[in-house]
Structure 1
Amino acid sequence: MERYEAIGLIETFGLVFVLEAADAMLKAADVELIGYENVASGYISVLVQGDVGACRTAVEAGIKAVDAMGAGVYSSVVIPRPHPHLEKIMTRYSLEGLLPQG
């Protein structure tokens, strides 16, 4: 995983809402989708990376998109300059880990 300046995360209930959030996040700012995680009982988190401003813009757009569908965001955060050890957690949820090798 490349070095990045910030990460942005949104957690909401249901696949449809998290897909809408991710779509809005990726369209609103120059961020890269890291991955997602089905947390528990239908809650799903989506993670993006980019510069701090882009991650903030992306998270705000994702929240607005979920709200516009009549749902709510359970939690969201932008972490500027995340500690390098967070990469151990993020790698577990990376889309790269889901792709077939070879």
Structure 2
Amino acid sequence: MSRYEALGLIETFGLVFALEAADAMCKAADVELVGYENVASGYISVIVQGDVGACKTAVEAGVAAVEAMEGGNLYSSIVIPRPHQDLAKIVKRYAITNPLAETEAE
């Protein structure tokens, strides 16, 4: 995480809304999708990382995308500029690997 200046997070209710948010976030700015986590009872957090401006843009786009959907339920969102290095321990736990990239490498 040392090469990134910020984390952007959105938490919503339901996988469909989380996927819409993640898609909007990645399309709106130069951010990397770190991963997601089903927090509890259907609440899902999506995490991206990149520079501060990109994370702000991505989170704003993700929030707008969820709010534009019928029944969209946004629980929370945040951008953490220059996160403390120890947060990498938490973020690493939620990192996803790209199964398509693994398949293509074989």
State the 4+ residue runs in structure 1 displaced beyond 6 angstroms: none
Provide the C-alpha distance between the structure 1 equivalents of 2:4 and 2:85, rounded to a whole number of angstroms.
10
- Describe how 1:87-102 pairs up with structure 2 within 5 A: 87-96=88-97
What is the TM-score with the length of structure 2 in the denominator?
Answer: 0.88
Please report how far the alpha carbon of residue 95 of structure 1 lies from its aligned counterpart in structure 2 after TM superposition.
Answer: 0.5
SS at match of 1:83: coil
Q: Which residue of 1 aligns with 2:75?
A: 74
- Describe how 1:35-46 pairs up with structure 2 within 5 A: 35-46=35-46
Provide the C-alpha distance between the structure 2 equivalents of 1:78 and 1:29, rounded to a whole number of angstroms.
14
Q: Which residue of 2 aligns with 1:25?
A: 25
Percent identity between the aligned chains?
73
Please report how far the alpha carbon of residue 24 of structure 1 lies from its aligned counterpart in structure 2 after TM superposition.
Answer: 0.3
Provide the C-alpha distance between the structure 1 equivalents of 2:24 and 2:43, rounded to a whole number of angstroms.
18
What residue ranges of structure 1 are gaps of 5+ in the alignment?
A: none
RMSD between superposed Cα atoms in Å: 1.7
Please report how far the alpha carbon of residue 3 of structure 1 lies from its aligned counterpart in structure 2 after TM superposition.
Answer: 2.4
Please report how far the alpha carbon of residue 61 of structure 1 lies from its aligned counterpart in structure 2 after TM superposition.
Answer: 0.2
Q: How many residues align?
A: 100
Provide the C-alpha distance between the structure 2 equivalents of 1:94 and 1:3, rounded to a whole number of angstroms.
16
What residue ranges of structure 2 are gaps of 5+ in the alignment?
A: none
Please report how far the alpha carbon of residue 4 of structure 1 lies from its aligned counterpart in structure 2 after TM superposition.
Answer: 0.8
SS at match of 1:78: strand
Provide the C-alpha distance between the structure 2 equivalents of 1:24 and 1:2, rounded to a whole number of angstroms.
25
